[in-house]
Structures are given as structure tokens and as C-alpha cells.
Homo-oligomer: A and B are copies of this chain.
Amino acid sequence: MTEKKPLRVAVAGLGTVGGGVVKVLQKQADLLKSRCGRAIELVAVSSRSKGKRTDLDLSGISWIDNPIDLAHESNIDVIIETIGGDSGIALDLTRAALTSGKAVITANKAMLAKHGTGLAKLADQYETSLHFEASVAGGIPIVKRLREGLAANRLSHLYGILNGTCNYILTQMEKTGASFQDVLSKAQALGYAEVDPTLDVGGHDAAHKLSILAAVAFGMPIRYEGMYVEGITEITKEDIQFARELGYRIKLLGLAGVKDGSVDQRVHPCMISLNTPIADVGDVFNAVVVEGDFVGQSLLTGRGAGEGPTASAVVADLIDVARGIRLPVFGVPLSDLQELTPLDMGEHRGQYYIRLGLKDQSGAIASVTNILASHNISIQSMIQRGRSENESVPVVIVTHEAKEADIQKALKAIDTLPASLEKGNMIRIVHFC
């Protein structure tokens, strides 16, 4: 057998992910050659700050100042984009590389959420490929599983813990009894949370990932815009305690499902029963549950982020490219993608946990229950904690199944009551079968 030509790779961006990829390619060179039947050669890198990564051995590798130039180098087959950002240089590079017929591997979920469908079209048009295993839960290999391992199934539902930072914060709040703010500060000190944590704790990072998973699972264009997204910033230590008391745990979940031509995609804190398999997935771990018509339910857990898992996922994509595996970006040809109608969050039905801070005075509870009743919301249980005349006492209400729009209206009305001393908080209770 004649030896196959090496696959020539460039890495754009030398942050955590890019640096990790360089390490994997160097440490596993022999293994990769054996697995792929050809060598994988790192030929070029590009990064904002030349000479900053003194821990990496970059001898013999071309340094290209402007990453866009990588797209036009004739000795490069694949570009690994680890620059980040939903547009700007990352997007320009990805577009230029695909247009030059080079395969692109990216971990950039923000870019994919915003421009993924267009980039997939570009890859198709120029007969090359776009890979993004590392964009969602690197330690899991979920994209390959959806697109290949479970490809014999029609997938109807998926849900998961898609953001390690939020999962760490919620786990620590429960373990230590500390407040959101205190745990966030600790997470920032440990490097588990960014200096500007908005993308994570606001739920947007999980939503980016969910939009990518839904596209691959259901064979639909990426629909990030308009998705209902709610983060964990309003979760208090009291909510954590009440959840426990009620037999639940609070997790930030991404949930997606298709039914009768509609798609439901949302990210928000959920109260889930303690015996749900993902209830025990704590700290920075991610987990995804998928339901298929033949395979039934399957659960995957693993590290979602970090240098090793993310680089492992990037290089798994690279191995596919080296092995000559080129699949439709979302598992089916673009012309077969389903156009699904997004479900209106106001139409969502489920049980709700509502926490109020009411003045301890006669008639306060009655006003609240009247408002709920007038919005077709019936109460399953109520907890009132402590008494402290004329001061705010927490009142927790668990509703029977109700409509989201009704809950929202009722909460607004309750907030205007004179007895309402704090803004009410609501968490959706989600049951999985």
C-alpha cells in the first residue's frame, strides 16, 4: 500500500483550546498516524500574541501574523479555529477557509449559533466540511453520537446540563449554603468562571450549545434567535433549600423537543426530581440525555470544558478529516433540513415553584391565592416559613400544571400587592419519564 499524504493542519488562536490541540498533536503523533493511516502535521499557527505561550514547542511550525492568511496558504488542508467570538476574525477566517475549500474545525458555539447554517451552506458549496464536536460538551462526544451513533433513530427529545460553570455554582450553593454571588466569586478565583460571567450565568452559552445540538438531532437549521433563555442569577440560597425540602434539585437545563412540525427549545433553571439520572451530575460536569424511537433513552456525562476534553474533541474531528469521513454538517443534506415552527414560551404548560417575600399581615396570603385563582392557577402545596410581624417572610407555592403566560401575569400582579415586599421568583418544575 502506498503511504497516504500527511494531513496539514493550522491552528488559529493559542488560548486554552488551541494550546491543548498543539499538545495533543505533538504527544499523540504516533497514535494518530496509526489510527488515521497517515500523519497529521501541524504546519502553521497564528495568534494575537506571538511568544506568549512559552510552554508550547512551536519550533518548525510557521507563524502567521494575520490568521486570515491561513485560508490562502496552499500547504494547509485543515484550519482549526479557536479564536472565539461570534463574529469578527473568527467568522472571517472560517468563511475564507471554507471558500478556499479547506476543512474547518471549530469550538466556537457562539459563532455557530449565529452563523452556523450559513457556514454549513458555504462548506457544501465549496465541497469541504465544517466540524464542531468541541463546541458542545467536549468530554462527551455528543455531536458524533447524534449524527452517527444514533443515526438510525428519529430523535424526539433531548435535554442536558450544558454549562459547567452554572452547574458548578448550583452544586456549590447546595453543598455550602452560600449565596450565588459568593460562589460566583469563588468560581472566578478558581478559573471556573470568566471575569465577565454573563455568557455563562445568563444561560446564553447553554443556549448556543442547545441550538447546535437541536440542529444535528432533529435535522433543522440552527435556530438560536428567539429561543427562551433564562440564567441562574436570580436563584437564591433559599430556593436551593426549598427545592431540597420539596425533593427537587435545581439545575440549569437546555431542553429541546420536536412535535407536529413545531420545535421547543429553551434554557432555564429547572427543579428536577432527585431520582432523575442527571440530578447527580455535579460540579463542572456536563450531561446529555437523548431519546430515540428505537434506542430509547441514553445518557452521556463527561467534562464539558477545559483544555484536555476540548482538545480531545477537536482532534477527534481532525481524525475524521484525516480518515476521509465527510458527512452532511447537520447529519442530513441542507436541502432536507426541516423548517419547524418555534413554540411560544407563553404556551408552555407545567408545574411551577413560586417563592414570594410577603409582609406577615392578615390577608396577605389570601390576596395572593385570589390572584392565582383568577389566572387559572391551582395550588398543590404551600410552605410558609417563620413569623416576623410586618417583616418579609418567605412563602413558597407549588402549583398544579399551569400555563406559562398565566404564571407570568399572576406574578406581575402579585408584585404590585402592598404586602409583597420582595420581587417573587419562579422556577419551572420539570418531570422526566
Contacts and interface: CB of A to CB of B under 8 A. Distances in A.
A309 interface: yes
Interface residues of A, number: 58
A298 B295 contact: no
A106 to B, nearest CB: 16
Given A34-B219, A148-B144, A336-B34, A296 B302 contact: yes
Contacts of A32: 151-152
Contacts of A141: 145, 148-150
B311 A152 contact: yes
A302 B298 contact: yes
Copies assembled: 2
A294 B277 contact: no
B152 A28 contact: yes
A299 B296 contact: no
A84 interface: no
A349 interface: no
Contacts of A314: 152
A292 B308 CA distance: 9
Interface in A236-293: 277, 280, 292-293
Query: DSSP class of A's interface residues: helix, strand, loop or mixed?
Result: mixed
Contact of A312 (B152, B312, B336): B152
A24 interface: yes
A332 B35 CA distance: 5
Given A151-B319, A153-B312, A300-B300, 11 more contacts: A31-B332, A34-B219, A35-B328, A141-B149, A150-B312, A152-B312, A280-B280, A294-B312, A295-B313, A297-B303, A323-B327
Interface of A: 20, 24, 27-28, 31-32, 34-35, 37, 133, 138-141, 144-145, 148-154, 219, 277, 280, 292-303, 306, 308-309, 311-316, 318-320, 323, 325, 327-328, 331-333, 336
